Structure 1
Amino acid sequence: MAEVLHVVKHPTGFYSAGATTVFASRYDQRFSYCLYVPSAHDPDGAPLPLAVLQHGTGRRGPQYRDNFAAWAEEHDCVVLAPLFPAGIGDDPDDLHGFKFLRYGDIRFDHALLAIVDEVGERFNVRAERFLLHGFSGGGQFVHRFAYLHPDRLAGLSIGAPGRITYIDQNSPWWIGLKGFEEEFGCAPRVAELREVPVQMVVGSADVETWEINNQGDSNWMDGADTHGVTRVARLTALRDNYAEHGIDVRFDVVPGVGHDPMRVLEPVKDFFASILTPRESS
């Protein structure tokens, strides 16, 4: 998609409109973000909704942002793509730390919230509750984020996570929620998640297992394959697990699509649009 830039009334000017430049986070300058700011944005007008697109292992945030540019214009919604670089912390080869929210002394959920709040200060958006999508490693991040911060979510879209945290108090973190309070200092907020619109999305051909059945690697835990060996099977199990706990899920399987984040985004856009513009029941 060609880059589209719009000059809007904003003190930071040209590079803060349309597809923006990349900004360092004031919270921690190891992290950064870019946005798509639609032409409807007006510092003196009504605040716009915010959609956050959390990257996966490949850190393809600007591609997500650009994919959503036309949608952002159509729905007058600011799009935010944060970046958590690989190799943060003591291990220069680490790819996965952000997916589990806490890595060493870093809390990636806090980093995301700080970026959202910063965007809320710099732009005229409704940052108190936002739409959130993540795919693959991003899908891991977003559903774990929701156990901690459902009060900040206007909608949650979980895309094809390979390693899943089920609502299960008998299985240890991060397969389940046993030890969650020791890890994060608070209990998981499952009851509040029932009030958040939730989507799960995966391609029907997302069945390769080489990356998600890697016993012995840093992002493996015994029992991760209890509910299946493919992303489709594991996400289906998570849907059923959520239903058992009173959480309604819109479940989208995209025909013929493998593990390709850009090819599952149309149902995500439709889901987000249904929240921004509720449809009348027929």
Structure 2
Amino acid sequence: MTTPAPGAPTSAFHLRGGTPFFASQYDPRLHYSLYVPRSLRDTAAPLVVVQHGTGRTAVSYRDALRTFADANDAVILTPMFPAGLIDPDDLHNFKFIEYRGIRFDHALLSIVDEVAERFPVSAERFYLHGFSGGGQFAHRFYYLHPDRLAGVSIGAPGRITELDDTLPWWLGTAGMEEIFQTRIDHDALRRVPVHMVVGADDTETWEINNPGESNWMDGVEKTGTTRIERLRTLERSLTAQGIQVTFDLVPDVGHRGVLVLPAVESFFADLIRRHRPTTRTDPSPTPEENPR
């Protein structure tokens, strides 16, 4: 366990390593946690945002990325968008960006700005990964805010939005400008490195083929039966618009977000090295922490 330096406020200890969850100043119903390497020394460290899925397992993703963060002098940000906002039975709010007046894209951007005020991160362009429901959020956020992304990794979304203005939102992008007051910038999309990842055994369909439920829209069935097929459909939709995609099909993995993280780490680490050639290659070991 590492203690604060003499004279430092005791609260400073909790602002390194795995932090507590903080309430967002944008909307205190929404929260976030961080992993900040104790050896962090950059004035503009890479910021990696990992958006949870339906299970809200933000802490699992944060903790699984500790070694990656230490090795790359990066800060991990894991937002927490609770289920049951407004409707106590709702599980899907953030996945479609807007929910009953809540703009989850604006919420994330506000959280990123809050983090940048307190930690030495590069917030103008950050890295975004999401798996399952988080993968749904990630690619829709990418359509709206490519100028804020240094790279995006889309993991196993159960429902996709094709980059196709002949299909209605959220099957496609028709009507997005009216809904979000943002016009899709295809040139900006092409400048963002895009990664897609799914387990080769991610073939269960019970959760994603559910006509009549709140996260269903007729036409979903045309995008594929499994998450693999749907992600391939999304890949074709993007490449048809001149967007280059790196696609990883991870062997022997089902619908397990933590198990595809090595592919995500590899993709982001390569981008971080290219964007910041002076990245350390010999990080000091991080002292074992006393969990709180």
* Greater relative contact order structure (CA < 8 Å, 6+ sep): 2
- Is TM more than 0.5 here? yes
1:57 to 39, 54, 61: 54
- Kindly report which structure 2 residues correspond to 1:195-234, keeping only aligned pairs within 5 A, or say none: 195-234=191-230
State the alpha-carbon separation in 1 of the partners of residues 192 and 274 from structure 2: 14
Q: What's the CA shift for 1:7?
A: 5.1
Equivalent residue of 1:264, what SS?
helix
| Residue 41 of structure 2 corresponds to residue 70 of structure 1 | no
Deviation at 1:25, TM superposition (A): 0.7
How many residues align structurally? 274
Instruction: Quote the Cα distance in structure 2 between the aligned partners of 1:169 and 1:229.
Output: 22
1:95 equivalent in alignment to 2:95: no
Shift of residue 61 of structure 1?
0.5
Counterpart amino acid of residue 57 in structure 1: T
Distance 1:5 1:92 in 2: 41
* AA partner of residue 19 (structure 1): G
Identity of aligned residues (%): 56
1:226-248 deviation digits (Å, cap 9, x = unpaired): 12110000101111111110100
Shift of the 235–5 alpha-carbon distance from structure 1 to 2, 3 Å rule, reads: farther
> SS of 2:221's equivalent?
coil
Equivalent-residue separation in structure 1 for 2:5 and 2:249 (angstroms): 38
Write the letter of the residue equivalent to 2:35: Y
1:256 aligns with 2:252: yes
- Judged with a 3 Å threshold, the aligned counterparts in structure 2 of structure 1 residues 191 and 6 are, in CA distance, closer, same or farther, namely farther
Match of 1:21 in 2: 20
Is the partner of 1:226 in helix, strand or coil?
helix
CA-CA distance at 1:191 after TM superposition = 2.2
Q: Which residue number in structure 2 is paired with residue 33 of structure 1?
A: 32
Question: What pairs with 1:63-142 in structure 2 (closer than 5 Å)?
Answer: 63-89=60-86, 91-142=87-138
Letter paired with 2:22:
F
CA–CA separation in structure 2 for the residues paired with 1:5 and 1:268: 29
Report the equivalent of 1:161.
Answer: 157
Amino acid across the alignment from 2:14: Y
- Deviation of residue 146 (structure 1)? 0.6
Q: Unaligned regions of 5+ residues in structure 2, if any?
A: 278-292
Gap change, CA 1:269 and 1:7, over 3 Å in 2: farther
CA distance in 1, matches of 2:95, 2:129: 13
- CA distance change for structure 1 residues 247 and 83 in 2, over 3 Å: closer, same or farther? same
Name the CA distance, whole Å, in 1 between partners of 2:268 and 2:128. 9
**Would you say the 8 A contact 1:84–1:98 is kept in 2?**
yes
Relative to structure 2, which stretch is displaced further, 156-165 or 16-25? 16-25
Secondary structure of the 2:137 match is helix
Give the structure 1 partner of residue 268 of structure 2. Answer: 272
Corresponding letter in the other structure for 1:56:
G
Q: Secondary structure at the match of 2:248?
A: strand
Cα distance in 2 between the residues matched to 1:113 and 1:79: 15
**Residue 175 in 1 paired to residue 176 in 2?**
no
CA distance in structure 2 between the partners assigned to 1:169 and 1:247 by the alignment:
16
Consecutive unaligned residues of structure 1, counting only runs of 5 or more, are none
Q: What CA distance in whole angstroms lies between the structure 1 residues aligned with 2:233 and 2:255?
A: 18
- Cα deviation 1:155-188 (Å, max 9, x = unaligned): 0000000000001111100000111111111222
Q: SS of the counterpart of 1:158?
A: strand
Contact 1:209 1:229 in 2 (8 A): yes
SS at match of 2:128: strand
CA distance in 2, matches of 1:70, 1:205: 26
Deviation at 1:46, TM superposition (A): 2.5
Superposed CA RMSD: 1.8
CA distance in 1, matches of 2:256, 2:200: 11
TM-fit CA distance, 1:117: 0.5
> Secondary structure in 2 aligned to 1:278?
helix
